[in-house]
Structure 1
Amino acid sequence: MRHVELVTPTTQASTPARFRSYMAGFPSGVAVVTAMDAQREPWGMTCSALCSVTVDPPTLLVGMRLESPTLRAVMITGVFAVNLLHAKGQDTAELFASGAPDRFQTTPWHTPEGAAGPHLSRDAHAVADCRVRQSVRIGGQRMVFGEVYRITGPTGEPPLLYGRRQFSAWPAD
């Protein structure tokens, strides 16, 4: 009979800082959510709270801060785009996370006919255009369910990843 030594993990209360640390161990792809407001001004933010919900109908869940101007544009227009960044898009991910007001002046983008928001033409390997189906407020976030009505890409570029508070690229085959 084999002896198995049990390791008892340390249990601590969940705090925002501990939760952030916990989630840092769950790497994910990097996305920028974009939208146009009622005056056709572009808005965008790097999003770490993104997941697929269902394939029928194709639906994404995106979490955005309540104070976000991007969220405001999404809720007013009812549409948004999710730009999945490729491995060379780290500078854009950092720019859109910074809140810099000139991010759309320094990043190539376009809005194809029928698009829900700006497509980041240089840095996205795929883009999903979505219609808001529902939203729910949880704490300081609004979780937005977007039904995907169009997908552009993928380009074949490896995706940009984020975990353990650092960026990385999908390993080459």
Structure 2
Amino acid sequence: MTTLPVGATAGTPMVAASDYRAMMAKFPSGVSVVTAYAPDGTPRGMTCSAVCSVTLEPPTLLACLRNDSPTLAAVLAARAFTVNLLHERARSAAVLFGSGDPGRFDRAEWSRTAMDSGPGLFADAHAVADCHVAAAHRIGSHTVVFGEVQHITLDPTRRPLLYGMREYAAWPLIHL
């Protein structure tokens, strides 16, 4: 086990990026695809594992998107986005939207959502949330986008896709 120094002052990182990456790789998370429409109507989207709940009142979540991402540019221009929480059989969608393939929407099944915030990947998602951008804060190489959830579509028959230790896996059924 590697011991890392404690006591970094604000703005002075005390750990190497590789050590931080190794730590976070061992913290599994759900897998989503964040989508939006560019000003010209072009669909944009990217795989994102940095999504979490912020508050119930008002229902708000956050997603962390790369600063140079066309998806982030579309989200900020539209002031709206969709979070597609992928189900256990949607590994191919996670890989496709993480690849940077410019034709990803030609290769994925998608349709408009109830609020038309961004493309819905209903065949690959166990939940789809339409969001309005409440705030955005740039932190290093990413921007944290806070979205107030306007509409949710759920499929309770599907289990979530997880990503951790550089692998995809289904949510395990463990009865304690």
- The reply on whether 1:140 has 2:141 as its aligned counterpart is yes
Q: Read off the aligned partner of 1:122 and give its amino acid letter.
A: A
**Aligned pair in 2 of structure 1 residues 74, 88: CA closer, same or farther (>3 Å)?**
same
CA distance in 2, matches of 1:62, 1:51: 7
Q: Give the superposition deviation at 1:115.
A: 2.3
Letter in 2 for 1:108: E
| TM-score relative to the length of structure 2 | 0.90
Shift of 1:17: 1.1
Report the count of equivalent residues: 166
> Which residue pairs with 2:61 in the alignment?
60
Residue 34 of structure 2 aligns with an amino acid whose one-letter code is: V
Tell me how far 1:166 sits from its aligned partner: 0.5
What RMSD, in angstroms, separates the aligned Cα atoms of the two structures? 1.4
Aligned partner of 1:82: which letter?
A: V
Matched-pair identity in %: 49
Q: AA paired with 2:110?
A: W
Can you list the C-alpha shifts for 1:58-111, whole angstroms capped at 9, x where unaligned?
101110111000000000010000000000000110110011011101110000
In structure 1, the partner of 2:118 is: 117
Which residue of 1 is the match for residue 4 of structure 2?
Answer: 11
SS in 2 for 1:92: helix
Q: C-alpha offsets along residues 118-149 of structure 1, whole Å, 9 cap, x if unaligned? A: 00021011001000000101001111000001
2:3 & 2:63 partners in 1: Cα distance? 32
- The question of 1:30 aligning with 2:44 is answered no
Mapping of residues 91-102 of structure 1, within 5 Å: 91-102=92-103
Q: Secondary structure at the match of 2:40?
A: coil
Q: CA deviation at 1:9?
A: 6.2
Q: Give the equivalent residue in structure 2 for 1:90.
A: 91
Letter in 2 for 1:10: T
The amino acid that maps onto 1:158 is R
1:15 Cα deviation from its structure 2 partner: 1.3
Task: Provide the rounded CA distance (Å) in 2 between the counterparts of 1:96 and 1:20.
Answer: 21
Bigger mean CA deviation after superposition, 58-67 or 8-17 = 8-17
TM-score, normalized by length of structure 1? 0.91
The secondary structure found in structure 1 opposite 2:127 is strand
Gaps of 5+ in 1: 1-7
Deviation of residue 165 (structure 1)? 0.9
List gaps (5 residues or longer) in structure 2: 6-13
Q: 1:113 to 1:157 in 2, by over 3 A?
A: closer
Larger radius of gyration: 1
Q: Secondary structure at the match of 2:90?
A: helix
* Runs of 4+ displaced beyond 4 Å: none
Query: Could you say which residue in structure 2 is the equivalent of 1:104?
Result: 105
Partner of 1:168: 169
**CA–CA distance in structure 1, aligned partners of residues 173 and 2 of structure 2:** 35
Asked if the contact 2:4/2:15 (under 8 Å) is kept, the reply is: no
Compute the displacement of 1:10 (Å): 2.5
Structure 2 Cα separation of the partners of residues 16 and 115 of structure 1: 38
